[in-house]
Amino acid sequence: MSRLAARFSTPLYVYSAATIRDRFRAFDAAFGDLPHTICYSIKANSSLSILRLLSKLGAGFDVVSGGELERVRRVHRHALANVVFSGVGKTAAEIDAALRARILLFNVESESELALLTSRAARLKKTARIALRVNPHVPAETHPYISTGLREHKFGIPIEDAPALYARAAREKFLQVAGVSVHIGSQITSLEPFALTVERLAELVRTLRSNGHRIIYVDAGGGLGIAYKAEDCGQQAVSAGEVSKEADSRAYGAVDDFRSYAGAVQRPLRGLNVHLILEPGRVLLGPAGVLLTRVLYLKRNGDKRFVVLDAGMNDLIRPALYNAYHEIVPAKLPAGDQRSTSADLFDIVGPVCETGDFFARDRRLPQVAEGDLLAVLDAGAYGMSLASNYNSRPRPAEVLVDGARSSLVRRRETAADLVRCERT
Ligand code: LLP
């Protein structure tokens, strides 16, 4: 890690290709022989190199914008055939692009969107395979900002309204009713909500089939959570050592049990003879990445002690936005350096001019010194993809480690990049 930091500077996102491969394969294997497609949810980490890696492993993609669709096109033209398109605000231009790309499935989220898709498909004379994304009214225990499966959320079509809309869609020449779809939220660490949701979907499939629809696909969405806290993995936070190895060993903790998840999703579908689509994001990428950052300053305000990092909320916004927990560990201590954990509690903060710019509050840390390298763990998902230029800070570089090779897959932004789109 210190070599990577010296070579590419900090803040730096570092991803482990081996971890991504292992997690994808384990997730895939958990679904066994049941026909299924894993449509990786691009929003978790949209790096082209990572998309390429996943595509080579056989992944399809879940996109929510024209921009994400364009990323898939750049990975491989053929990858477009395994794209599902979700989102409550698809524009006509985005719909047209997806129609032309002949994607696998449109997950339609409202009556108005269905009307627009109908007219765009007719205009372009391209058939759209559709699923309605239904809202199953299932509560999922997670942060309220990322829970999506309740009546009061903007997502999906109330499940009880779906049959009437399917009937309407079936009459359209350029629409092909092909599936049902759902996504109830993210960072969900209990399996019950998934099981309950798919039970409701299975019921819907039976109703729709008895109404004469040919339902092939059941898209169960994403949302499976990971263990961000070391104690949830049954392990102590590491104090030193190689972070990517640590990420590997954290891969299969209690909530990372892919088989139980697969069981919960598959059980209600038994005998239905459907093709399952899954849209995992975080669970594949989260533990595969760290944010490497250097300690700029140690400071004290009265009794309060701060560690000021060179990474800020613009680089990783999860703690600021969701009060999310990330383990933070020294990336590498010099050989033989056995520092004890300090008795003091630190706020670990960034340089951005907001009190919300923190990575951890009241956290115990092994003793740190100015200039030390720290790794913010489990930052592979919703890290770089939510990064911004707030405070006119260039976004960090990204490195993909694959065995002995480390490739810079995105260079660090420069001051010139920051003003590239502006006119004076
Ligand atoms: N499918 C749809 C339609 C989604 O909206 C999402 C995530 C996923 C799949 C993938 O969910 P996952 O498997 O990654 O949980 N920024 C937040 C997470 C927002 C999730 C949005 N939708 C965070 O950092 O926790």
Between CA 47 and CA 52, with CA 50 as vertex, the angle to 5 degrees is 110
Catalytic option among 39, 233, 353, 421:
353
Q: Is the pLDDT of residue 392 over 50?
A: yes
pLDDT in tens, 375-389: 999 999 999 999 999
- pLDDT of amino acid 334: 61
pLDDT per position as a tens digit, 300-329: 999 999 999 999 999 999 999 999 999 999
The pLDDT of residue 256 is: 62
Q: 234 pLDDT exceeds 60?
A: no
Residue 389 identity (one-letter amino acid): N
Most informative mutation of 186, 191, 224, 285 for ligand 1 (most atoms within 8 A of CB): 186
Output the pLDDT for position 333. 63
Decide: 382 in ligand 1 pocket, CB within 6 A: yes
pLDDT digits (tens, 9 = 90+) for 35-93: 999 999 999 999 999 999 999 999 999 999 999 999 999 999 899 999 999 999 999 99
Residue to probe by mutation, ligand 1, list 38, 41, 147, most atoms within 8 Å of CB: 41
**Confidence class of residue 199 from pLDDT cuts 50, 70 and 90?**
very high
| pLDDT computed for residue 151 by the predictor | 75
DSSP string for residues in 37-100: EEEEEGGG---HHHHHHHHHTT-EEEE-SHHHHHHHHHH-GGGGGGEEE--TT--HHHHHHHHH
Give the whole-angstrom CA distance, residue 90 versus residue 50: 25
**Which amino acid type is present at position 374?**
L
Give the residue among 11, 68, 132, 95 at the shortest CA–CA distance from 281: 68
pLDDT category, 337, cuts 50, 70, 90? Answer: low
pTM for this model (two decimals): 0.94
Structure token pair of residue 37? 């497609």
How far apart CA 131 and CA 156 sit, in angstroms, is: 11
Reply yes or no on whether 233 is catalytic. Answer: no
* Beta carbon of 41 within 6 Å of any ligand 1 atom: yes
Indicate the average pLDDT of the chain.
92
